[in-house]
Amino acid sequence: MARIRFENITKKFGKTVALKDVSFDVDDGEFFVLLGPSGAGKTTTLKLLAGLYKPTEGNIFINDKNVSEDPPYNRNVAMTFESYALYPHLTVFENIASPLKAPGRNIPSKEVKERVERVARMLKIDQLLDRKPAEASGGQKQRIALARTMVREPDIYLLDEPLSHLDAKIRYELRQEFHRLEALKGVTTVYVTHDYVEALSLGDRILMLDHGEVQQIGKPREIYEDPANIRVAKQVGQPDINIVECVTRVEGEKIVLMPKNEPTINIEISDEAQAAFRNNTYPEVLLGIRPQFIKVGEIPGSQIFDGRVDVYQVLGSEGVLNVEIGDLNLIALTSPEDRYTHGEEIKVYFLKDRFYFFSPENGERIRFS
Amino acid sequence: MAKVTLKNVYKIYTPRTKGGKEVEAVRDLNLVIEDGEFMALLGPSGCGKTSTLRMIAGLESITKGDIYFDDVRVNDLSSVERNVAMAFETYSLYPHMTVYKNISFPLEVRHKSKKEIHKIVENLAKKFQLDDVLNEYPARLSGGQQQRVSLARALAREPSVFLLDEPLSHSDAQLRFQMRTEIKRLHYEIKSTMIYVTHDQLEALSLADRVAVMNFAELQQVGTRDELYNNPYNLFVADFIGEPPMNLNKGLVTQEDDDLFLKLLGSSITLHMNAERTEKIKRLDKKEYIVGIRPQDIIPVEVPSGFMTFDAEVDFVEFIGERSLLTIKNGDLTLKVLASPDFDVKAGEVLKFSYPPERVHVFDIETEKSILVL
């Protein structure tokens, strides 16, 4: 049982500001993901929670108790590190049991054995208990590290990029396991990753961090579908969201967007967007279009553009099309069954209701109520 | 440019210590890479793909068998004589030379005129968007830029074969994506024979004209993306290619009147196949097979014609941005299904799922081969 509260935390290392006025709450039992590029401050946040760092300013609460100055061993949090840090000369059993054998714990060896075996069974590494870590595969090492974290039965799990060194297939499998692990349900977990798919898939809520600052906190769909700014929009989604620098201009009765590097075209926008951009409120905007909302073909009522196929790649469950509209090079997602050849002339349209607009000055989302 | 032919090629590493075992890195490899073709060598680490590339490059002796560039046997020719260019996993740029010099150096060694060199470098710099950094030193460049310099340098020599060894493995996901597009674009332009080693199936499938899948020193299958996807020769290829991976389960042959289908073990799901596979199963006359169906070939709605259906309960839903991934269950069996993120469904709902029978794959349990090649 643990709730976490970060209150206006700033962390400096010398002159470098790693975290700037970060505040958030984690509910009891919540799976809370810290997402961001490398250097965003994710691991610093975890280490502050674990008690390995002390905040420069602000307070950290666990269950309403201010723990900002408490040493790690008074917090009952367990942390796994990105490098598994297993003891190579100990068996897998001894590695998992090691936190229970810490001085002052005095847990009877029968109970140690039971707890290690229980968690090993749950993570499907019970057949490895007598071996050395070197004999385990990458995915198994990860699970051994996880078992060592879980065997303590802490109030809070802190997991730092637990899947990042594994190949795609094992990541995928372990992600499924995280969903199934009863032991993780109900225990407050803070999970650090730079991978948006992991974040969306696992998180009850996501905190998107960049440059030491909170960019957005929300449920997975909010983060993906309703990004607060251009940094969030770029961090989640692959291929990257298309960003087109545009000038807003009047074209007859309409307000349209003219791409700066392709002034011969006007992009039509929704009525709400037109209303918002009237009276020159935003002389320039950044237009964001996710690749899945650029379509090949023509449908009545849509604005149709003449495009030319630049590069086309068929992946597993989708095709990725780089299409040129004049000097604009945009990425579109297609069905993997589609086939396009380099240089082919195609028609393209956008789903304009799915457009995002960002301010060119600060990258913040321009919203219309 | 050249066509590359590998005939019964073996690579065997002899033990370094007395009593050690020989290691067979490549076993009896036969592969033809056409002039101008983009071929990827794909497989997990230790499968023999890099040994193969190094034998083609002339960096590694060929234990048995022959390699030809067009009609010339190159076994005994050096790398330089073969005129191959390589871009490696590590960029290995000359740190004390500017970008310009890095690209021009291999040309100077070959005694090209200054004017000619200048033209080639300018041209490549433009193509790789390096014009602004020609006078910088490698240390000042981003990872992606260094990679482009490495590629440009390899290309400057107009090699007959262009070899790339995991060139993108050190980049993060977003940069890999951009670089992949560049390499693809590059191949449109230079049309040279390219051989690309990777463990990343997305890279292989998206870039190459054909992919040679290797495992345990042996070639498993060579084919286009569609061939590998829609007709995997064996269980390894079926499982290795595709993300999320193919659903693979045991299925029991069941016959009702003239109708033959496979019942997935632990569930009440029965899967029908196309006529070709159904006929094959009748002839093979075995009781159990491994049945495979890809998550994107199961559709969480009823589709009218040409599809079959089964019922299953939604176990959980993962929203992953461009798609949703459903885990569905029937009895003790779970399957993965890809759905549109707009598809509104909750855990616990029972739905009808559709699938095209021609996308049901069947493998022999003992040999692990597709029944189509048995």
Angle at B184 between CA B178 and CA B187, to 5 degrees: 145
Contact A204/A31 with Cβ under 8 angstroms?
yes
| pLDDT recorded at residue B46 | 83
Question: Within 13 Å, how many C-alpha atoms sit on residue A130's CB side?
Answer: 1
| pLDDT recorded at residue B171 | 65
- At position B107, the amino acid (one-letter code) is L
User: Who contacts B365 (Cβ-Cβ below 8 Å, separation ≥6)?
Assistant: B250, B286, B288, B289, B290
Do B4-240 and B247-373 agree at the fold level? no
| pLDDT recorded at residue A178 | 79
3-state SS, residue A82: coil
- Rounded CA-CA distance B202/B219 in Å is 19
Does B323 sit within 8 Å of A317, measured CB to CB?
Answer: yes
Asked if this assembly's ipTM is beyond 0.85, the reply is: no
| pLDDT recorded at residue A121 | 87
Does A167 sit within 8 Å of B322, measured CB to CB?
Answer: no
- Rounded CA-CA distance A359/A262 in Å is 19
- Rounded CA-CA distance A362/A211 in Å is 14
Does A239 sit within 8 Å of B177, measured CB to CB?
Answer: yes
Q: Give the residue extent of every domain in chain B.
A: 4-240, 247-373
Least confident of A281-290, A292-301, B169-178, B364-373: B169-178
| pLDDT recorded at residue A369 | 65
pLDDT in tens, B245-294: 999 999 999 998 888 999 999 999 999 999 999 999 999 989 999 999 99
| pLDDT recorded at residue A260 | 96
Q: Phi then psi for B293, rounded to 5 degrees? A: -145, 135
- Rounded CA-CA distance A330/A312 in Å is 12
Q: Is the pLDDT of residue B128 over 90?
A: no
| pLDDT recorded at residue B140 | 85
Q: Is the pLDDT of residue B154 over 60?
A: yes
- Rounded CA-CA distance B327/A153 in Å is 28
Strands of the sheet containing A284-289, edge to edge, are A267-268, A254-259, A242-251, A284-289, A356-358
Q: Encoding tokens for residue A183?
A: 């032991």
| pLDDT recorded at residue B88 | 64
Q: Is the pLDDT of residue B90 over 70?
A: no
- B272 touching chain A per CB within 8 A: no
- Rounded CA-CA distance B75/A131 in Å is 44
Q: Encoding tokens for residue B287?
A: 């009781």
- At position B263, the amino acid (one-letter code) is K
Q: How far is CA A243 from CA A142, A228, A356, in A?
A: 37, 15, 9
User: What is the helix (H) or strand (E) element at residue A23, kind and residue range?
Assistant: strand A16-26
- B322 touching chain A per CB within 8 A: yes
Instruction: Classify residue B115 as exposed, middle or buried by CB count within 10 Å of its CB (0-12, 13-18, 19+).
Output: exposed
User: Who contacts B240 (Cβ-Cβ below 8 Å, separation ≥6)?
Assistant: B42, B43, B44, B201, B213, B215
E strands of B166-323, at which residues?
A: 193-198, 210-215, 218-223, 247-256, 259-264, 270-271, 288-293, 308-319
- B173 touching chain A per CB within 8 A: yes
* Domain B247-373 superfamily per CATH: Nucleic acid-binding proteins (2.40.50.140)
Q: Encoding tokens for residue A354?
A: 């799915």
Inter-chain Cβ pairs, chain A and chain B, closer than 8 A: 82
| pLDDT recorded at residue B181 | 85
The candidate with the shortest Cα–Cα distance to B371, out of B249, B232, B254, B236, is B232
pLDDT band at residue B80 under the 50/70/90 scheme? confident
Question: What residue has token string 């030809």?
Answer: B68
DSSP secondary structure of B140-167: GS-HHHHHHHHHHHHHHT--SEEEEEST
Does A224 sit within 8 Å of B242, measured CB to CB?
Answer: no
User: What is the helix (H) or strand (E) element at residue B284, kind and residue range?
Assistant: helix B275-284
| pLDDT recorded at residue A140 | 83
Contact A313/B184 with Cβ under 8 angstroms?
yes
Q: How far is CA B352 from CA B285, B299, B303, B305, B314, in A?
A: 31, 9, 10, 15, 10
Domains and CATH numbers, chain A: 4-235 (3.40.50.300), 242-358 (2.40.50.140)
Does B321 sit within 8 Å of A196, measured CB to CB?
Answer: yes
Q: What is the distance in angstroms between the CA of the first residue and the CA of the last residue of chain A?
A: 39
- B229 touching chain A per CB within 8 A: yes
User: What is the helix (H) or strand (E) element at residue A42, kind and residue range?
Assistant: helix A42-50
Q: Are strands A4-13 and A16-26 parallel, antiparallel or unpaired?
A: antiparallel
Q: Are strands A356-358 and A305-314 parallel, antiparallel or unpaired?
A: unpaired
Q: Encoding tokens for residue B54?
A: 């190094």
Does A316 sit within 8 Å of B202, measured CB to CB?
Answer: yes
Nearest CA in chain B to A200: B320
- Rounded CA-CA distance A189/A177 in Å is 15
* Domain B4-240 superfamily per CATH: P-loop containing nucleotide triphosphate hydrolases (3.40.50.300)
Q: What is the mean pLDDT of each run of 10 residues along chain A (369 residues)?
A: 94 94 96 91 94 96 94 86 81 92 83 91 88 84 86 89 74 78 81 92 95 97 96 92 96 94 95 89 95 95 95 89 96 93 96 96 90
- Rounded CA-CA distance B115/A5 in Å is 66
Q: Which of A169, A196, A237 is opposite residue B245, by nearest beta carbon?
A: A169
Chain B nearest CA to A281, separation (Å): 32
Contact A355/A289 with Cβ under 8 angstroms?
yes
Contact B174/A238 with Cβ under 8 angstroms?
yes
Q: Are strands A267-268 and A284-289 parallel, antiparallel or unpaired?
A: unpaired
Q: How far is CA A83 from CA A129, A141, A154, A160, A171, in A?
A: 20, 10, 21, 9, 15
Chain B nearest CA to A291, separation (Å): 9
Chain A nearest CA to B185, separation (Å): 6
Q: Encoding tokens for residue B45?
A: 């680490």
Does B243 sit within 8 Å of A172, measured CB to CB?
Answer: yes
Q: Encoding tokens for residue B41?
A: 């060598």
Does A239 sit within 8 Å of B206, measured CB to CB?
Answer: no
The candidate with the shortest Cα–Cα distance to A64, out of A15, A1, A157, A107, is A1
- A169 touching chain B per CB within 8 A: yes
Contacting residues of A for B320, CB less than 8 Å apart: 197, 200-201
Does A315 sit within 8 Å of B320, measured CB to CB?
Answer: no
Does B323 sit within 8 Å of A176, measured CB to CB?
Answer: no
Contacting residues of B for A315, CB less than 8 Å apart: 202, 205-206
Nearest CA in chain B to A219: B319
Nearest CA in chain A to B188: A342
Contact B29/B8 with Cβ under 8 angstroms?
yes
Q: Is the pLDDT of residue B74 over 90?
A: yes
Contact B204/B42 with Cβ under 8 angstroms?
yes
The residue among A183 and B322 whose pLDDT is bigger is: B322
Does B316 sit within 8 Å of A311, measured CB to CB?
Answer: no
Chain A nearest CA to B236, separation (Å): 13
Q: Which of A168, A239, A342 is opposite residue B243, by nearest beta carbon?
A: A168
User: What is the helix (H) or strand (E) element at residue A168, kind and residue range?
Assistant: helix A168-180
Q: Which of A194, A224, A313 is opposite residue B206, by nearest beta carbon?
A: A313
Interface of A with B in 21-80 (CB under 8 A): 38
